[in-house]
């Protein structure tokens, strides 16, 4: 009997121990579930906050922009000129520090236009942002490889009229107004424009036409006007319009407002060029990779009527460019420019510059003080694999468009 009792006790004990273990396991599992749920809860709360803020942004009415004209009543009120119309006398929100409010500041009024609720940052003038103005560029003709014929042509049509206008007047000839440089990306068009500005002692003013379309929407025509105004003021000057095709591409219809805006910018450019009569001290250069899509109106006489092709460099050109970009590098004797030029067929000046930089890095990585031929050969392979944009063949039917192609 007592044996049986002992057995029963043991069985009950075992059952209890098993049950405790099961409960502990369940407890652990519930705890980990709780942890997961708490984490999910935290994530959902964060998401909820985000969406609440987004909804707030969507439903909040717009504020009104205004300029402070005068601060009144020791900073209690102010006279502002609102962009919606009349001058208003408005209150100043208590969050705004009275001392910081000065005439001329840009502020935001609440929706009812009754209170200044925020001081805004000064808006950067897009005209200043759009232009790169260099009084004396650092690039000279000797920094450009493989383009001696092109440099000669540019000297005649850009540099001479700027440096010796009398010569043209005496001979009774008019230099071309606009010069279009075309060719694959990275062949040195910008470099040439900068160098000719330097050699002619002219101010270099550069605008990138694609930015009118992407960055300065609605300001294109004004920027063009201001660029020409500045060029007249800074004359002798060279206006360089990069990526001209962004505003100068042929269009079949001008349906969207974006296209109309591009068209307005182009019309302003043409009007400025047409209005320029004695253009001896301001020369206009433009660059494009896509002359095939340009609006023929741009290529008419009196506009971009001189077109100069800037091709990818040939073998000798590549040797020259290698020499230019390794001028400051310490090289071992085995570096052979001819061989490098041979294995870089189809490379542009920008590609060759990339090869030289990469070769330098190869030496740096190997902890060497000078750059070897192998560093260059590895760099050539690297650049070949990384060349994002393949040079494209560019078609030009100059005769049809009445253009003189040099």
Question: How many angstroms separate the CA atoms of 317 and 159, rounded?
Answer: 23
The size of the interface with ligand ATP (CB under 6 A), counted in residues, is 20
Q: What is the DSSP string of 90-155?
A: EEE-TTS-GGG--TT-EEEE-TTS-EEEEEPPPPPPHHHHH-EEESS-S--GGG--S-HHHHHHHI
Between 119 and 131, name the residue whose CB sits nearer to ligand ATP. Answer: 131
Region binding ligand ATP by CB under 6 A among candidate stretches 278-286, 348-356, 368-376, 395-403: 348-356
Whether 348 and 390 have beta carbons less than 8 Å apart is answered as no
Provide the minimum distance between the beta carbon of 243 and ligand ATP in the complex, in angstroms, as a whole number: 7
Region binding ligand ATP by CB under 6 A among candidate stretches 84-92, 106-114, 182-190, 362-370: 182-190
Question: How many angstroms separate the CA atoms of 203 and 181, rounded?
Answer: 19
Q: Which two tokens stand for residue 351?
A: 């590609």
Provide the minimum distance between the beta carbon of 165 and ligand ATP in the complex, in angstroms, as a whole number: 27
Class of residue 88 by CB neighbours under 10 A (exposed 0-12, middle 13-18, buried 19+): middle
Between 295 and 309, name the residue whose CB sits nearer to ligand ATP. Answer: 309
Provide the minimum distance between the beta carbon of 325 and ligand ATP in the complex, in angstroms, as a whole number: 6
Provide the minimum distance between the beta carbon of 244 and ligand ATP in the complex, in angstroms, as a whole number: 11
Provide the minimum distance between the beta carbon of 242 and ligand ATP in the complex, in angstroms, as a whole number: 6
Q: Does 290 engage in binding with ligand ATP (CB under 6 A)?
A: no
Strands of 252-350, DSSP E: 282-288, 306-309
Question: How many angstroms separate the CA atoms of 288 and 291, rounded?
Answer: 6
* Among 350, 272, 271, 364, CA closest to 310: 350
Single residue of 71, 80, 287, 294 touching ligand ATP by CB under 6 A: 287
Region binding ligand ATP by CB under 6 A among candidate stretches 15-23, 129-137, 170-178, 183-191: 183-191
Question: How many angstroms separate the CA atoms of 48 and 54, rounded?
Answer: 10
Q: Does 175 engage in binding with ligand ATP (CB under 6 A)?
A: no
Q: Does 289 engage in binding with ligand ATP (CB under 6 A)?
A: yes
How many degrees, rounded to 5, is the angle at CA 254 between CA 249 and CA 257? 105
Question: How many angstroms separate the CA atoms of 383 and 315, rounded?
Answer: 18
Single residue of 180, 182, 187, 231 touching ligand ATP by CB under 6 A: 187
Single residue of 159, 211, 219, 242 touching ligand ATP by CB under 6 A: 242
Single residue of 107, 137, 141, 146 touching ligand ATP by CB under 6 A: 146
Q: Does 189 engage in binding with ligand ATP (CB under 6 A)?
A: yes
Q: Does 349 engage in binding with ligand ATP (CB under 6 A)?
A: yes
Closest residue to ligand ATP, judged by C-beta, is: 349
Provide the minimum distance between the beta carbon of 354 and ligand ATP in the complex, in angstroms, as a whole number: 8
The total of other beta-carbon atoms located within 10 Å of residue 54's CB is 10
Strands of 331-380, DSSP E: none
Q: Which two tokens stand for residue 142?
A: 């000797």
Q: What is the DSSP string of 148-217?
A: HHHHHHHIIIIIHHHH-HHHHHHHT----SEEEEE-STTSSHHHHHHHHHHHTT-EEEEEEHHHHHHTST
Single residue of 145, 178, 248, 360 touching ligand ATP by CB under 6 A: 145
Single residue of 90, 116, 144, 359 touching ligand ATP by CB under 6 A: 144
Q: Does 324 engage in binding with ligand ATP (CB under 6 A)?
A: yes
Between 242 and 295, name the residue whose CB sits nearer to ligand ATP. Answer: 242
Between 190 and 265, name the residue whose CB sits nearer to ligand ATP. Answer: 190
CA 118 to chain centre: 31
Provide the minimum distance between the beta carbon of 91 and ligand ATP in the complex, in angstroms, as a whole number: 53
Which residues lie near ligand ATP (CB under 6 A)? 144-147, 185-191, 242, 287, 289, 313, 321, 324, 349-350, 353
């Amino acid at each position: 009997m007592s044996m049986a009792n002992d057995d029963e006790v043991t069985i009950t004990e075992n059952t209890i121990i098993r049950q405790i273990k099961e409960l502990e396991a369940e407890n652990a599992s519930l705890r980990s579930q709780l942890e997961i749920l708490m984490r999910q809860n935290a994530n959902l709360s964060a998401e909820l906050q985000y969406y609440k803020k987004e909804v707030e942004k969507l439903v909040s009415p717009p504020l009104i922009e205004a300029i402070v004209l005068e601060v009144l009543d020791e900073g209690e009120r102010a006279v502002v000129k609102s962009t919606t119309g009349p001058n208003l006398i408005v209150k100043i929100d208590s969050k705004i520090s009275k001392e910081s409010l000065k005439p001329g500041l840009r502020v935001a009024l609440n929706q009812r236009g009754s209170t200044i609720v925020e001081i805004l940052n000064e808006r950067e003038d897009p005209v200043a942002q759009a232009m790169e103005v260099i009084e004396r560029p650092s690039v000279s003709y000797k920094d450009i490889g493989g383009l001696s014929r092109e440099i000669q042509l540019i000297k005649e049509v850009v540099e001479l009229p700027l440096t010796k206008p009398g010569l043209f007047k005496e001979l009774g000839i008019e230099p071309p107004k606009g010069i279009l440089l075309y060719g694959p990306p990275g062949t040195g068009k910008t470099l040439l424009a900068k160098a000719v500005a330097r050699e002619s002692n002219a101010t270099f003013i550069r605008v990138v036409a694609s930015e009118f379309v992407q960055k300065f929407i609605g300001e294109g025509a004004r920027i063009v006007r201001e660029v020409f105004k500045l060029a007249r003021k800074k004359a002798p000057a060279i206006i360089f319009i990069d990526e001209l095709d962004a505003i100068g591409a042929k269009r079949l219809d001008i349906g969207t407002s974006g296209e109309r805006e591009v068209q307005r910018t182009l019309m302003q450019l043409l009007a400025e060029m047409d209005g320029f009569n004695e253009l001896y001290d301001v020369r206009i250069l433009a660059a494009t990779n896509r002359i095939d899509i340009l609006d023929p109106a741009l290529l008419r006489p009196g506009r971009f009527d001189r077109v100069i092709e800037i091709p990818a460099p040939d073998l000798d050109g590549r040797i020259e460019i290698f020499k230019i970009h390794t001028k400051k590098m310490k090289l071992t004797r085995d570096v052979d420019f001819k061989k490098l030029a041979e294995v870089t067929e189809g490379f542009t000046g920008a590609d060759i510059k990339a090869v030289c930089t990469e070769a330098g890095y190869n030496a740096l990585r190997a902890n060497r003080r000078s750059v070897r031929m192998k560093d260059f050969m590895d760099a050539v392979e690297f650049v070949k694999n990384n060349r994002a944009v393949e040079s494209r063949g560019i078609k030009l039917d100059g005769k049809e468009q009445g253009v003189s192609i040099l």
